[in-house]
Structures are given as structure tokens and as C-alpha cells.
Structure 1
């Protein structure tokens, strides 16, 4: 493998037709040249693309690389020119460093432990069964995205945060509006503003009448209503969009790998390994951005202070130096060290919830519909654009023997 310095010229690189699960070919080629490449931005800024597992993991754990929104002046798609990027709004802790980050995250940690999430299993099983019943009653064909992958996580996260049932459809539509990568700037701003306005109303309602939910539990803290709104936005968006796309893309991957689908159906004990392998293989959260706060040596190169790095999680999780035969979906792979949930202080708070939802929903789907299959050729399944932060499918038409 050559360690010569490679330059990536196209971000986001497009996936090859018919390869909806593999990272874009240009990113795979970059990893073959070495774990770090040069990446020129539209603004003219000379940044870096990190594709190797070890380097991505080390950057995520290194406080010398910042997540602060106001430092993210350089984007691989957009030239902001002289526009100042504002700091993250109060509560939106994913785009903050310490100590602000921990102030918001710490009160939440105990509410998303593996034990507490496992206690939700029965409710998730009930929600899943209700949606599979509805699919069976309606009969084939069905869009697995709208019938299965989206409603299950949105109901779960809304119940956790105390969003009234009647409001869930409106919330889901607005979250889709600013996360699908296809809306215009005007539509994106409108959707984001609508979610913010709704969450302000929700926080006020919890102040007036607390209920048994995570948001109400936070009312006794010193967090302001504005901060609670920001926290709720992070939890709702992350708890819905990433899991929904993992469920849909995971079902697609199983249908495209019938030997693995058969193994999971025949061996329910494979479920835990299957979840970890699908998380690694799909890596729906494709990349993170970081900015160097000081000069840092990384992979034999000096990253100067103020330089932007794009961390490619999907190539890190396909790194052949870390995962043997990395482009194969192998549900018997016994390795949960993937970076699908990130690493370090920003590692996904809701990762245990996502695991439980996947462990319940995907095996239930393939048990309920033994003859489940794609209703269109795989090449016709429409993918979300690479510009979207989260990879997935727009719809997944399926059929079965009724």
C-alpha cells in the first residue's frame, strides 16, 4: 500500500450504481493510498480527509480537535465566503467542546444506559408488532421506509421525550425537511424554524404539567427553557433519523445478502452480532467534521491550527487493516469495535436505544414475512443524496407472499 499523499477532489463522492452500501469509490481509493489525504474545500481552504480507522478514532478522542460550530467555516460543499458562522444554539451540545458539552450531556447519561434501554424492549416489541400487523393487513406491496423504518423509532423517541401522539406526524415531517439533503435553503430554514417553535411549546407544556418522560425529568436542573429546547432537538433528530435509516438500509442489505438473511432467521442468537455488523457495514452517519485547535502531528503530517478535517466513518469501518474482508456483510463477525456511533466524548448518547430497536425490529420483520423480497430491481431503489448527513434510502418497496 502506498503511503504517498493523496488528494481527494470530489466531496461528496458519489456511490457506484448498484452499490448502495459501499462507501463512494473515490473514498475507498483514498484509503488505499493511506489513512489521510489532502482535501481542498470550495473556499480555497486546504483541509484533510481522514479515512483510516486508527486515525479517525484517535482524532475523535483528541481534545486538540474541536467540534465547535463557530469554527466550522469551511465546508466540503459550500463556500461561506466572509459569513461568520455563529456558535451552536444553547443545548445543541454535539457542536460544542468541553466544558459546555458536558454541562448538557451529563444530566442525560443516566437516562440512556444499556439497562434502561433494555427495559424498553417490551414496548419496542409492541410497537414493532403493531406496524407489522398493519403491513400484513394492508397486504403487499409496501414501502418499508414509511410502514416500518420511520414510525418505530419516531414513536419510541417521542414517547421518551413526552411528545404527544397527535404531534408525531408533524414532527417527523419537519425533521425530514431539514435532514433529507434535498430541500431548498428556504424549505430547510422553514422546517428547522417549525421544529424549534414546536419544541418551545413542548418545553412550556412540560413546565406547566410535567409527565413521566426524559424532558420532564430535566426540569429540576438549572437548564433554561432555551437549553432544554436545544437538547430536545438533538435527541429527537438523532433518535429518529439515524435509526430509521439504519433499519431501512439494514433490511435492504439483508435482502441483498440472502445467505446472511437465512442465517439470522435460522439462528436468533445471532441478533446481537448482526446488529453490530450492520452498524459497521452501513455506517449511515458517514462523516464528522473537526477543526485543529493547535498544530498536531497526525499520520506523519502536521495539521496546522485552524485546519478542517473530515473524518470518514464509512471508510474507517471498512478499513482492511482493522476488519478482515471489510466489504463483506458477515453477521457472524465477532467484532463490535466499529465507529458507527463515533468515539470519545461525543460518542452517540442514544446508541443503546438504537441497538435495542434494531435487535427487536429486524428479526421480527424477517420472521413475520419469510418471503419478504424487493418489489423493484435493487438498482431502482432510490438512495438519499450524498449531500445528506445520514445515508439511507428514500423508499424501499417490498413484497411478500400474502
Structure 2
């Protein structure tokens, strides 16, 4: 069986871009009923404006309300177990519950707070580049740079022992693998929460200066232990997987577009625009959270009844010809809007951190290794991962 026949449509890629069938859907009917890895059907929305509508309207498109929907693999869970697994996960709630949780975290991810972190992130980037240089060419950019840099940053920010990284990265990888059996992914979710529960208990006993300790000190009366576990688990997963895949895939994209790479190397002041264009062009998060309609809605001329699941195809939305001219081109000189971080109340909380890490890491890598090039086997794209990226990237300099 071919990969395209087993991968859900919204996850199908041709290297950096969405599968042509997805682009044809966007440019044609715009929305279609599809099967999902969850074992149920959903409406797949592909156009930029429709995606913004779905993501921006939490009343008509709910993250929390599931009505009669029961997902295969979690049928056997009691309501109490389901509530326990959802506790603290901001992606599983609508306002006002989502607002209550997010309000406690927002101060830790402001641009001002990120500026205070910049010197430490710069040191982490330089230390890993030093280690790459000492080990010598060639190297796997993913395992030596793209993955460890954001992993160390989020570990220090949260208060997670960096020595545990191999275990939590293994768990995360299986949890996000849509080809894994639902029972195995559920087991990984439980394992991840059990690990975080130990860290939360330590923070409750002796709260430090890290984010978990801050939550215990400042909001210990407002958050249950389960909510602390859910918050920590989500931030740990999102904090290393997303930026790691952007660094690996973004480097390959620049190496495949030498004129863009050279422009960024000569004019590093373009880095902010370059980061936004890479976010738009790569769209490593395929869909964001699925929604369920709470009432009858209309999108692209299609009427969707209440209680229906809706998913968003972010790669096609970010390459929508209605959004910008020549959307298939990677062009770091432009400033185009995008939904790579989502939109609305669930817009990525960690976006300032991710942007800061990329703004530091890409120029440092390119300046350190002016002759950086891909070598060895073809790039290993991780097709079945809920967050798109590379398993490895062999480079030389």
C-alpha cells in the first residue's frame, strides 16, 4: 500500500509543500468530507479565509464540545479518565476555561520575557555550534543542532531535567505518529503525563524559579495537580518538537534555495521576515486542533450541520493564491500573513519563544558554516508525524 493511500489527506506532502490533491481541493470546491486518523469523518477546510473563520470563532467551532462523538481507542475510558487526560491541556478547552488557564501562562511568553531569555538562548546555540565544529564534518544537523537546542531551552524554561530528553523525545515521537495504533499512542500519553506528574510533585514540594515552580507559587491554589501536569506536558511537547522541526526543515529549505540563503547571509537584518516566510512556506503543523460545529454553518458554499468535525489544512491556507502572489515561491523579502501559529484564542502561546529561537539559530548556523551543504543520503522527511519535519539531515562544511 502506498504512503499516499494510508496518510490522511491533510498530512500528505511532496517534500516542503502540500500534496497537489490538496492544492486542487483548495482551488476547486475548497472543502471536502474526508476520513481522519481518529477513525471518524471530518470536513477538511483548505482556504485561508475559511481557516481563519474556523479558528477564530470558538462559539460556532468548538474545541471542547464533542457531543456524541466518541473516538476509537478511547471508547473504554471512563468520563473521569477522559477528564484527567484533558486536564490542563489548553488545546482541549474553549473560553472561559481556556482563558482561565492561558491567563496564568501568558506573562511567561511575552516579548519582554523573551528578550530576557535571549542571552541564554544565544549561548545554547553557540555551545552546540562549537560542539558541531569540534566533532567535525559531516554531521546530522537534526541530532546535533536542530533538536537539542530547543529541547534544552524548553527544559530550562520549564524546569525539566535535560538528562531525561531521550525518554521524553521517544515518547513524544510515538505519541505524534499517526501510524501508531491508538492504544499505543494512548499508552504514550499516559507515560508522558506520569513523567510530568513526578516533576509537578517535586515542584510542589520545592518550587524553583522555573515555569513549573512559578505556577505552583503563584497559582497553586487555582490549579489542580492534574492541570499542572497537563500544562507542563503540552509545553514540553510543543516547546521542542515544533522549533526543532522548523530549524531542520528550514535549513534544508534555505540550502535548496541558495539565492535566498545567500541573501540572508549577506543581509542578516532580514531574519525576521525570513522566519515568517519559512513559517508560512513550511507550515510544519498540518492542521491545528480539530473543531466541532455547535450550530449549522456555511463555508465555501457548503452547509455543515451541528455536531460535525472540522479540520483545517494549514499548508494550503498558507499557500492560498488569494492570500499573496506567487505563493509557491520561497521569498524572504516579502511580508505575508500566515496561520502557521494558528489563529484566534488558540494562537500558539509559545510563538514569541519559537520566533526568538529561530531568529538566533538560523543566522548563527549560516555564519559559522559558510560552506554548509547537504551530503549523504536524501533528506529523511517524517511523513506520519503530526508535526512535519526531518528525522535526520546529513550536512557537511
Q: TM-score, normalised by structure 1?
A: 0.89
CA drift of 1:83 comes to 6.5
Return closer, same or farther for 1:43/1:102 CA change in 2, 3 Å cut-off.
closer
Q: Give 1:66's aligned residue.
A: 62
CA drift of 1:184 comes to 4.7
**Which aligned pairs between 1:56-135 and structure 2 lie closer than 5 A?**
56-62=51-57, 63-68=59-64, 70=66, 73=69, 86-87=82-83, 89-135=86-132
Tell me whether 1:159 sits opposite 2:160 in the alignment. no
Instruction: Select the residue among 32, 38, 41 that pairs with 2:33.
Output: 38
Give CA-to-partner distance per residue, 1:314-370, whole Å, 9 cap, x none.
1000001102111100000122x2100000000000000000000000111111111
CA drift of 1:14 comes to 6.8
- Residues in 2 aligned to 1:356 and 1:124: alpha-carbon distance in whole angstroms: 9
Q: Give 1:384's aligned residue.
A: 382
- Residues in 2 aligned to 1:46 and 1:224: alpha-carbon distance in whole angstroms: 34
Secondary structure of residue in 1 paired with 2:27: helix
The answer on whether the counterparts of 1:13 and 1:25 sit within 8 Å (CA) in structure 2 is no
Return closer, same or farther for 1:208/1:270 CA change in 2, 3 Å cut-off.
same
- Residues in 1 aligned to 2:26 and 2:54: alpha-carbon distance in whole angstroms: 16
Tell me whether 1:198 sits opposite 2:198 in the alignment. no
Return closer, same or farther for 1:211/1:399 CA change in 2, 3 Å cut-off.
same
CA drift of 1:376 comes to 3.0
**Which aligned pairs between 1:138-157 and structure 2 lie closer than 5 A?**
138-157=135-154
- Residues in 1 aligned to 2:192 and 2:6: alpha-carbon distance in whole angstroms: 35
- Residues in 2 aligned to 1:239 and 1:43: alpha-carbon distance in whole angstroms: 24
Secondary structure of residue in 1 paired with 2:245: helix
CA drift of 1:45 comes to 6.0
Return closer, same or farther for 1:366/1:10 CA change in 2, 3 Å cut-off.
closer
Tell me whether 1:217 sits opposite 2:214 in the alignment. yes
- Residues in 2 aligned to 1:115 and 1:303: alpha-carbon distance in whole angstroms: 42
Kindly report the root-mean-square deviation, in angstroms, between the aligned alpha carbons of the 2 structures: 2.5
The more displaced of 84-93 and 47-56 is: 84-93
Secondary structure of residue in 2 paired with 1:398: strand
Equivalent pairs counted in the alignment come to 384
Tell me whether 1:300 sits opposite 2:301 in the alignment. yes
Q: TM-score, normalised by structure 2?
A: 0.90
Instruction: Select the residue among 6, 21, 25 that pairs with 2:20.
Output: 25
The more displaced of 182-191 and 27-36 is: 182-191
- In the alignment, structure 1 segments of 5+ residues that lack a partner are 1-7
The more displaced of 49-58 and 81-90 is: 81-90
Instruction: Select the residue among 48, 55, 66 that pairs with 1:53.
Output: 48
Return closer, same or farther for 1:82/1:188 CA change in 2, 3 Å cut-off.
closer
Secondary structure of residue in 2 paired with 1:394: strand
Return closer, same or farther for 1:367/1:204 CA change in 2, 3 Å cut-off.
same
CA drift of 1:175 comes to 2.2
Tell me whether 1:188 sits opposite 2:189 in the alignment. no
Return closer, same or farther for 1:193/1:142 CA change in 2, 3 Å cut-off.
same
Q: Give 1:248's aligned residue.
A: 248
Secondary structure of residue in 2 paired with 1:120: helix
Instruction: Select the structure with the greater relative contact order (CA < 8 A; seq sep ≥ 6).
Output: 2
Q: Give 1:175's aligned residue.
A: 172
The answer on whether the counterparts of 2:8 and 2:37 sit within 8 Å (CA) in structure 1 is no
Secondary structure of residue in 2 paired with 1:157: helix
